[in-house]
Structure 1
Amino acid sequence: MNVATSAFIPPVGAALRDWLSAQSSAWMGAKMAGSAVWQEVLSSAEIDEFREVVRRGLPPGKTAEQLTAADLPMPLMEPRIAEWRQLIDRERGFLLVQRLPVEEWTEEESMIAYMTICTHMGTLRVQNSRGTIIGHVRDEGVPMDLDNPRIRINETNNKIRFHVDLGDVVGLLCRHNVARGGLSRIVSSHSVIAEVLRRRPDLEAALFTPIPFDALDMIDATGKPWRDVPICRWRGSDLRVSFQADTIDAAQKRGMAPKLTGEQADMVALIEEIAEDPQFHLDMYFADGELQFINNNHTLHSRTSWEDEGDPARRRHLLRAWIVL
């Protein structure tokens, strides 16, 4: 991505579309599917370093949110994680890492290894009103309820529509996956917005105008049950994209937020239509021990539904982190 400078003048119209298409973060899923460039494989020595991290355990007297990279030294992995951070923040915007030996570890031990790599990536942030630092993606058997926003969709086996999470990066570690469903689906938000502008250049202003996103259980000091967020916003010379199909829809269903205008409704529908196009998105199936890191500012992600196996000990389980770079 371009480095922000005071001289940068944001492009508009056709120039904005062309600018987006030229970014290193503007990739097409159909081309990525045939490439291994987004897959990183840990060496035997690097895996052994993670084993040593797990053996040492977390430093005493510190909570998860207080941990820093200095608390969890990884001299071998540190330069490689720094390269991944650059790739995620300034280049392609995502990667898949293979593979941590989670089959050797308990849930707590997997958590230690995962927190270590995330702490070296950036700063962990809270994910909900319960103060969760590392979340669990698994079916807790509780149905979604619009009137109870403390129930998060990651705690169900439901399909999740295209969205971004809070924080610069969302990370997932697969402890166990299932044979039926649960595909991770990602798409370049820069490619999507460029296509929106190609098809509907009249929607450019709507892209930069705030629309209501349901606040779920993260209501801020304003007390409103929604947040007004523009889909696109500039941060220096970086165009950041925020989109959450489910929470935009929830804000409308609750009936307290302002109604979307016709242009805003068209914009939301078109973003989702383009993101769902197999030419644009990339599907990936997590194997046990694989990690995925996604830049929330330049990438949208979704998930297909799944069916767990009969054995409760073998149900699908991913660990999730939100990271500020």
Structure 2
Amino acid sequence: MLVHPRLLQDGCLQPQARAHHRVRQRFRPPACQAAGWQRFPRHRGVPHRDGLGGAGALGLPQAEGAPPGRNGRREHQGGAGVCEQRGGRARRLCSSPGLWGLVNNAGRSTPIGPAEWMHLEDFTTVLDVNLLGTIDVTLHFLPLLKKARGRVVNVASIMGRLALTGGGYCLSKWGVEAFSDSLRRDMQHFGIKVSIIEPGFFKTNMTRLDLIEADLKRLWTRLPRETKRSYGQTYFDDYVKSQAFSMDLLCSRRISTVTSCMEHALTARFPRTRYAAGWDAKLLWIPLSYLPSFASDFVISSLLPSPAAAAARKP
């Protein structure tokens, strides 16, 4: 049994987000220490005292005599590349008892929208953070997790079951699901347990309407004139309204639902393979994912407007 388990939380919630107060209380350092945890948060875009700031820093104390940072790989926007730069320090710090828990929670949602509105870099921007960042961080800390026979908790999404929108977000979450499944089967021989959390819609920065609408306007503005004509201005206006309607209807403020799943996955003797977080995930999206494709297509399409060209073809 580990007397002082170590926990790395990747993609921690930013400290100035007032709406996440209860989440921070659950995973704040005093609470972790009281439970016997040693916590190493990694924030996205929050500078740290140890100089590991920038886009996703590992909140780990510097080891004495550690060499200057050397980054042999490209840094993902979500900061996964920082692990290449600082992974040696993390290993030296935790070399004795290993790492008990790794929570991969970093992510971004935009750009979202019809696939035709995207450029290749719009996909890679999201995939670098949500998928490649998760893989990169996990691979760097697997040796420590094997020493402790620890836990990996990957935060996916119900959009890892249903592609509700275009863009890189759904692709990345499907990838997280597949990576987690293969990792779980590979690591079970070493005593590592891998859990997936599939949250529904919650009130976070990822679902802020002002950010989503601003990004949709950016995508719409750069479209060629012919593409705009095929969709129509009305389609764009209705698409923005549908996003606002869906977010207002579905988003929950009880983010503690998600952190409770994290806590169970890290501390339970028999953690679950998958956790559904949120009423919409349990009652709407996951049941819908088991229906035939024509049924899920009908439900999802009913939530979105039709382009002008499609409406013109109707008799």
Normalized against structure 1, the TM-score is what? 0.27
Higher helix share: 2
User: Which one has more relative contact order, counting CA pairs under 8 Å at least 6 apart?
Assistant: 1
Normalized against structure 2, the TM-score is what? 0.27
Q: Which has the larger radius of gyration?
A: 2
